[in-house]
């Protein structure tokens, strides 16, 4: 069943994907984006975007990537670390592809040298190379962390020729802190926290407005309070609760969504137990 037609929405408002059409600029998301854009533009070398699970790090990273890709002065790309056991070869090859190396087959014979030459070529063309690494908390291998530090030593006439932006949950900082030399090179750091009650309201209102709907006819103020409380202000959980509540409301033809419905939905998602059990599950 699809609730969009019931609510006369043009498309799904609460899908859990980092869709830039829905980007809601809270102060902290805006600030994060600004700081990272600045770090990229000034080629600061090394910047971090850290935050708790589901607070919007990947969404900000995608927005940043879209901005950098649009500008011809950047050579950029996003690497997502899906697991911890990746090899140097895999990482070097991904960096090589992003910086436009045509042939990466012989890269591992002398990776730093080959990549550096290409970075210098890009610098001569006036391009700033910015590599984004999402899920960088999976960079647990100190050897690979050291290789990233190695890149940061590359400078040409006092100009850096590569900037890394690492994105991840707080564990990322623990890995970085182990490498003092890398830690000292952090030129910008931004931390995403959960949304406040007002930001949660604004977030839901904005998403509904994008699909042509009005919050006051869909959620009662009390229901928004509860959504904030059960989600802890984490956007991913806000989406999940709202999505389930809209489905329920359309099925029961009961509008607006009230606090009782949010209680039921949160219970069925297992969020109520967590609140009282001091244990948080991430959906």
**Binding region for Mg ion (CB under 5 A):** 57-58
Smallest gap from Cβ 108 to ligand ATP, in A, equals: 30
Kindly identify the residues of this chain, within the stretch 198-257, that bind ligand ATP according to CB under 6 A: 235-236, 239
Smallest gap from Cβ 240 to ligand ATP, in A, equals: 9
Site string for ligand ATP, 7-36 (x = CB under 6 A): ---------xxx---xxx----x-------
Query: Which residues in 2-94 belong to E strands, given as ranges?
Result: 46-51, 74-80
Smallest gap from Cβ 269 to Mg ion, in A, equals: 20
CB count in 10 Å sphere of residue 276: 7
At 273, list the tokens.
């137990």
Smallest gap from Cβ 228 to ligand ATP, in A, equals: 14
Q: Report if residue 56 touches ligand ATP, rule: CB under 6 A.
A: yes
CA-wise closest residue to 172 among 201, 138, 146 = 138
Taking the least distance from each CB to Mg ion, the nearer of 92 and 203 is 203
Task: List the one residue from 44, 57, 94, 149 that touches ligand ATP (CB under 6 A).
Answer: 57
What is the size of the binding site for ligand ATP (CB under 6 A)?
A: 19
Residue 273: phi, psi to the nearest 5? -55, -45
Q: Report if residue 190 touches ligand ATP, rule: CB under 6 A.
A: no
Are the C-beta atoms of 250 and 6 separated by less than 8 Å? yes
Taking the least distance from each CB to ligand ATP, the nearer of 19 and 258 is 19
CA end-to-end distance (rounded Å), the chain: 22
What does the CA dihedral 172, 174, 177, 179 come to, rounded to 10 degrees? -80
Taking the least distance from each CB to ligand ATP, the nearer of 75 and 266 is 266
Are the C-beta atoms of 280 and 232 separated by less than 8 Å? yes
Looking up tokens 């600004």 gives 34
Taking the least distance from each CB to ligand ATP, the nearer of 49 and 115 is 49
């Amino acid at each position: 069943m699809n609730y969009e037609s019931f609510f006369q929405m043009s498309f799904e408002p609460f899908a859990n994907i980092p869709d830039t059409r829905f980007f809601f600029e809270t102060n902290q998301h805006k600030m994060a984006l600004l700081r990272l854009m600045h770090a990229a533009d000034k080629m600061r070398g090394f910047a971090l975007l850290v935050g708790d699970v589901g607070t919007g790090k990947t969404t900000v990273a995608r927005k940043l990537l879209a901005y950098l890709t649009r500008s011809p002065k950047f050579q950029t790309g996003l690497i997502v670390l899906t697991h911890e056991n990746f090899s140097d070869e895999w990482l070097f090859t991904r960096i090589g592809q992003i910086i436009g190396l045509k042939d990466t087959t012989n890269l591992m014979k002398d990776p730093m040298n080959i990549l550096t030459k290409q970075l210098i070529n890009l610098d001569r063309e006036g391009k700033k190379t910015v590599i984004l690494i999402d899920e960088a908390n999976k960079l647990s291998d100190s050897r690979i962390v050291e290789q990233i530090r190695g890149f940061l030593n590359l400078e040409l006439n006092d100009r850096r020729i590569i900037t890394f932006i690492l994105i991840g949950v707080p564990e990322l900082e623990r890995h970085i802190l182990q490498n003092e030399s890398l830690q000292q090179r952090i030129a910008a750091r931004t931390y995403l926290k959960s949304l406040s009650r007002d930001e949660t309201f604004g977030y839901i209102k904005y998403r509904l407005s994008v699909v042509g709907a009005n919050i006051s006819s869909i959620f009662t103020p009390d229901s928004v309070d509860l959504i904030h409380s059960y989600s802890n202000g984490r956007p991913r959980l806000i989406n999940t609760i709202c999505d389930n509540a809209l489905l329920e409301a359309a099925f029961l033809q009961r509008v607006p969504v009230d606090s009782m419905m949010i209680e039921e939905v949160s219970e069925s998602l297992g969020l109520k137990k967590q609140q009282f059990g001091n244990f948080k599950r991430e959906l």
